[in-house]
Amino acid sequence: MNIALIGYGKMGKAIEKIALERGHTIVAIVNSESPISEVDLSLADVAIEFTRPELAVDHIKTCIDQKCPIVVGTTAWHEHLSEITDLVNTSNGTFLHASNFSIGVNIFFEINKRLAQLMRGQTDYKACMEEIHHLQKLDAPSGTAITLANGILENNTDYSSWVLGEENAPHTVDGQLGVTSFRSPDVPGTHIIKYTSPVDTITISHEAHNRTGFALGAVIAAEFVFNKKGVFTMNDVLNLSN
């Protein structure tokens, strides 16, 4: 499979390494020296995009216009998701997006939803979340943390909104889920969810050891969308419930 890399930072290089190991070919690279407007995507079977939130939408639209399927790992642009979904559908394009491509994290999403269901009505427990990432992580909370928070809200009616604290836990009132973001050197990504009562604490967590899991999942996602049409997520790739 011929792959175009949109973004060639640490994640782009990690994706390149795994793609080559799995027998694929890198046919184009988009970065600050080679913007997407100057790159020929015609030879690519799929593009994998990990850049910045303010660039992602233009990259997606360009790929759709050029009939190049695209897998997107950039987060914090999803206010445009309905617009992009409509564009993909009307253009008969191919688009896969995820807040996290790690297979382990996507399983963790499902565990989080199930625990949220079990904790519904357990008013002695108060839920909170922490996410820890490297200093280069621009958005807070992480896209993964937002997915986890929304998973709690959608499956536990005791919570109706989440609030963010950066480096310190936020003040919350009844019905609010506190999410605290920490930035620390050389942390690929850690997410911790706690339900605390006066007598005990239930904790689930996911800790990434390196970027390999994210890169591998992105390449697997690219392999999944090959010769498909439509809008997809990692739930489709891993055959998980929606």
Active site residues: 133, 137
77: left (phi over 0), alpha (psi -120 to 50) or beta: alpha
Number of H helices, E strands in the chain: 7, 11
Task: State the Cα–Cα distance between residues 32 and 43, nearest whole angstrom.
Answer: 21
Q: Pairing relation of β-strands 126-133 and 190-196?
A: antiparallel
Structure tokens at 55: 């660039």
Q: How many CB atoms lie within 10 A of CB 145?
A: 28
Closest CA to 35 of 17, 18, 13, 51: 51
Task: State the Cα–Cα distance between residues 70 and 76, nearest whole angstrom.
Answer: 17
CB 216 within 8 A of CB 18: yes
**Residue 150: HSE in the Cβ half-sphere, 13 Å Cα cutoff:** 9
Structure tokens at 59: 């990259």
**Residue 49: HSE in the Cβ half-sphere, 13 Å Cα cutoff:** 31
